Structure 1
């Protein structure tokens, strides 16, 4: 009994330490890279957006230029500012030099003009759909009061999200100098963006009509720069819900995508990719994720999970415990199922069949899936109850024997008396 208790406690301790270690190392890749990326310096980070679990990581903690992926933070700060998205903003004169710098860098624009009045929602669509750099700068001025103060807000928000390798120097990412992050940091920012339904809707839009303004008499249609959301593209995937791409000479091709299928969501970040391979790799990695992970049974109700020590039961020193209900989970075929048990050190017999004794928390590859009750599949009789029955049976037997002896004695005594009486008569 002591050995069983010792080994159970030791196993629980090992499991606790293993789970703590897994939680402390969230950036480690859980699985080998299923494809050969075009460049060894390319950064890749694929994660389960529902649980935060790292699926794949390559150079994920190395700083890279992030180009227009910067605009995700710009969008996030606008959405978190509380400003009315249907409210209007007038492009200030202070944007004159900023617009010239964007033009000189051959950056994408929405054709905004000084003095033009536009709605914030239209700026957001221009920012995320066509990756307009001028829209990013106007948003920065509107939310931060100045581009410089807005950049400070960007870096402060990144730090709040746990980003340790990120430094923003502009609101759009067109200017590379010092504007860096890591694939893992960008995943943190992207995951926060994905929580906002407006961000998901806007960034998943393939084309948007900008309404006429005081300086643009006609409507304008802006188109997504990303083929992953283009139904006519060879790279299109129906499960991709939102995406943001980017490119500069130093940053190379960059992309963030979120894909949802069968109730499960993945986020993917690729930095410093080759121009020709980026979207192929996006498709390959997301296809692999949905093909390699699935819902599967983890625990049934007929397999013994553990035991608990019994007291007052010499015949059976332990009771086998089973899950009261089946447990399923979503994961890879190679994921290991483990348990953390919440049990008393021992329980006294009698224990009824189906009695709840404790609980088991089920983990799949170190991530908690759920908790299930642990019950018995047999009745374990107390020694006291057994001994009492035996004692009662013995007493009953003795009573019967004594009764029989009494009857025999009385019968024998009666016969002897009759014999003496007959002798006297003679």
Structure 2
């Protein structure tokens, strides 16, 4: 009997070691994810959750990852209709003079917005970046002011730009965390990955100065689900990459800064993404097109408008964890100034697990709402009056 008790106690002690062993193994694995980069972060785009962090608030030169913000402002202008892909831009001497990575634009040359966009997204063209900056804002300096204002709007306190290219400049810095937030905002513009995931293409096809574009991010070709975003290198910044990859209901953003060489940079990014996709799963609660609320717009035409999330509402959980119970709260703005554009921000979808907020996504209008004219307003008033009288 005593022998049986001793055996039972020994087994209990043995099994009690397993949880701590598992935790220690996870901590060890987590600490070994990034080996070369000076700073790194892994963020899930849909939920905004940070899954890994290594000195992600450390200010460092971002090199050409700067162009994530440049691309963001370009995509916003396209969405607003202020510029079009087919618009032709005449290249200035200043833009053509840019050194570093380029698509070899010449002063006086004309190129459309879409080709310049490819030149930035695929070949990291500094000349293309400045050409677009001048076209959008009138001057490179004014465009840089807009970049810094956008960083402020996004709540990025550790980022400051001096140019739209990432060429070395005093006071030009960012962090892995801030780059991930910028990337997350850029990826709200779905069309951008049509360019950032291009591995190779041609500019000036069939002309004497035909130029072969080859993506500076080689993981586009080798890592499953990779669709961008931007590499960077200067002797000061070393090797950097803001990467984006999608699988199932998850969209991972990995940022590494200050790696020793391209091979180690790519290894760190691959390790980060493998960790994210291997350890976590996405649980989609709502799709982008789901109608979560119908709002009455008293003086609007139409009078009722459907509200949907601006993107899929996805929460993350570890694969080995049990299914969680989530509570969803839909908060709609009290007032609306007319007219309302399609996609206007009209509130939030907030998802909680207990007291913890695990997802927050904007609610958007499904169509445009104009100010109703005199006749529709009179008819509504008359219907309300007659309905009241019948009651």
d(CA) in 2 for partners of 1:364, 1:183 = 30
Q: Aligned-residue CA RMSD in angstroms?
A: 3.0
The counterpart of 2:171, out of the listed 178, 200, 210, is: 178
Q: What's the offset of the Cα at 1:34?
A: 4.5
- Asked if 2 retains the 8 angstrom alpha-carbon contact of 1:129 and 1:223, the reply is yes
User: Is 1:91 the equivalent of 2:91?
Assistant: yes
Q: How does 1:3-402 map to 2 (within 5 A)?
A: 33-39=30-36, 42-81=38-77, 82-95=82-95, 99=97, 102-103=98-99, 107-212=100-205, 217-230=208-221, 236-275=222-261, 276-294=263-281, 330-332=316-318, 333=320, 363=353, 366-368=356-358
- Asked if 2 retains the 8 angstrom alpha-carbon contact of 1:337 and 1:365, the reply is no
Number of equivalenced pairs: 278
Q: What's the offset of the Cα at 1:33?
A: 2.9
Q: What's the offset of the Cα at 1:246?
A: 0.6
> Which residue number corresponds to residue 308 of structure 2?
none
CA deviations over 1:273-302 (Å, ceiling 9, x no partner): 121311011111111111111368xxxxxx
d(CA) in 1 for partners of 2:328, 2:190 = 39
Q: Flag the 1:269–1:109 CA change in 2: closer, same or farther, 3 A.
A: same
Q: What's the offset of the Cα at 1:240?
A: 1.1
- Asked if 2 retains the 8 angstrom alpha-carbon contact of 1:176 and 1:250, the reply is no
d(CA) in 1 for partners of 2:277, 2:150 = 32
Q: How does 1:404-415 map to 2 (within 5 A)?
A: none
d(CA) in 1 for partners of 2:119, 2:354 = 42
TM-score, normalised with respect to structure 1: 0.60
The higher radius of gyration belongs to 1
Q: What's the offset of the Cα at 1:127?
A: 0.6
CA deviations over 1:195-235 (Å, ceiling 9, x no partner): 1122111111101221359xx545322111111012xxxxx
Structure 2: stretches of 5+ with no match in the other structure: 1-26, 284-313, 330-350, 361-391
d(CA) in 2 for partners of 1:61, 1:48 = 17
d(CA) in 2 for partners of 1:210, 1:341 = 48
Q: What's the offset of the Cα at 1:46?
A: 0.6
d(CA) in 1 for partners of 2:101, 2:34 = 28
Query: Once structures 1 and 2 are overlaid, which stretch shifts more, 166-175 or 75-84?
Result: 75-84
Q: What's the offset of the Cα at 1:175?
A: 2.0
Q: What's the offset of the Cα at 1:369?
A: 7.7
d(CA) in 2 for partners of 1:61, 1:122 = 34
> Which residue number corresponds to residue 20 of structure 1?
none
d(CA) in 1 for partners of 2:47, 2:199 = 28
TM-score, normalised with respect to structure 2: 0.65
